[in-house]
């Protein structure tokens, strides 16, 4: 729920309208900047998996990164937000996400599912590679 024009209470669904491109844009009077793009969760689609910075998609628009410990529910959160059971791969075994997985939300909006840290039972050199990959993502991505 949010506050609408003249102090009326409105739900988030009533604040947005769908435009032909499939990207939701705010209606006038909602407080969002004119022309702002809002993710279209229902249109989420896998883009690519990257093991190095050079493989990342162009750094344009908005990107929401999911980062945390192994087996913390990052992929499950992505699936819940997009209302898709298997968009992001989930597993009971820690360390299954070994690359950064990018998902498009229409327009220039993306989700990024980063490898977890902590519980994965993998060789130390692989953990170090994940650390460098996540570090390069967090330090160099502007979106």
pLDDT, tens only, 45-93: 999 999 898 999 999 889 999 988 777 788 888 889 888 888 888 877 6
Identify the pLDDT of residue 93. Answer: 65
CA distance 2 to 7: 9
Q: Phi, psi at residue 7, to the nearest 5°?
A: 75, 5
- Asked if residue 11 has pLDDT above 50, the reply is no
What average pLDDT is seen over the chain? 74
pLDDT for residue 103 = 92
Average pLDDT over residues 24-52: 69
Q: What are phi and psi of 142, to 5 degrees?
A: -95, -25
Q: What is the pLDDT of residue 33?
A: 58
| Of 13-27, 43-57, 124-138, minimum mean pLDDT range | 13-27
pLDDT tier at 6, thresholds 50, 70, 90: very low
Q: What percent of the chain has pLDDT over 90?
A: 20
Regarding beta strands 2-3 and 9-10, do their DSSP bridges make them parallel or antiparallel, or are they unpaired?
Answer: antiparallel
Q: Which residue has the tokens 């994965």?
A: 120
Look at residue 111 in the predicted model and tell me its pLDDT. Answer: 92
Residue 143 near residue 63 (C-beta atoms within 8 A):
yes
Q: Give the Cα separation of 14 and 22 in Å (integer).
A: 16
Q: Is 61 helix (H, G, I), strand (E, B) or coil?
A: coil
- Average the pLDDT over each of 24-33, 77-86, 130-139 and give the range with the smallest value: 24-33
């Amino acid at each position: 729920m949010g506050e609408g024009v003249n102090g009326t209470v409105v739900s988030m669904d009533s604040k947005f309208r769908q435009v032909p491109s499939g990207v939701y844009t705010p209606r006038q009077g909602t407080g969002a900047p004119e022309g702002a793009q809002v993710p279209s969760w229902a249109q989420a689609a896998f883009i690519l998996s990257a093991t190095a910075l050079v493989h990342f998609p162009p750094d344009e628009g908005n990107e929401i990164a999911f980062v945390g410990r192994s087996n913390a529910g990052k992929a499950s959160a992505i699936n819940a937000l997009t209302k898709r059971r298997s968009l992001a791969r989930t597993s009971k075994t820690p360390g299954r996400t070994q690359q950064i997985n990018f998902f498009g939300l229409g327009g220039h909006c993306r989700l990024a599912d980063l490898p977890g840290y902590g519980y994965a039972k993998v060789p130390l050199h692989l953990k170090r590679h994940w650390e460098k990959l996540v570090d390069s993502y967090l330090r160099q991505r502007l979106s």
